[in-house]
Amino acid sequence: MKTGKKIIFWICALFLSVGFWGTADAGAQSNVVETISPAGVEKLIQSDSCPVIISIVTSRCRACRQEMPVYQEMYEQYRDQGLKIFLVSIDFGYPQHIQSLVDQMNLTYPVFWGGDEVMHAFDVSLVPYKMVVQNGEIVETVIGAWSEQEIRQKIAELLQICAQ
**Beta strands across the sheet bearing 137-143:** 34-35, 111-113, 84-89, 52-57, 129-134, 137-143
Domain ranges of the chain: 1-30, 34-163
Q: CB within 8 A of 141, min separation 6: which ones? A: 129, 130, 131, 132
pLDDT score at 2: 60
CATH fold, domain 34-163, is: Glutaredoxin (3.40.30)
Residue 77: pLDDT band (50, 70, 90) is: very high
Residues 77-91: what's their mean pLDDT? Answer: 95
The pTM is what? Answer: 0.80
pLDDT score at 161: 87
Q: Given the DSSP bridges, would you call strands 111-113 and 129-134 parallel, antiparallel or unpaired?
A: unpaired
pLDDT digits (tens, 9 = 90+) for 5-33: 554 444 444 333 333 333 334 444 479 99
Residues 84-110: what's their mean pLDDT? Answer: 96
pLDDT score at 47: 85
Q: Is 72 exposed, middle or buried (0-12, 13-18, 19+ CB in 10 A)?
A: middle
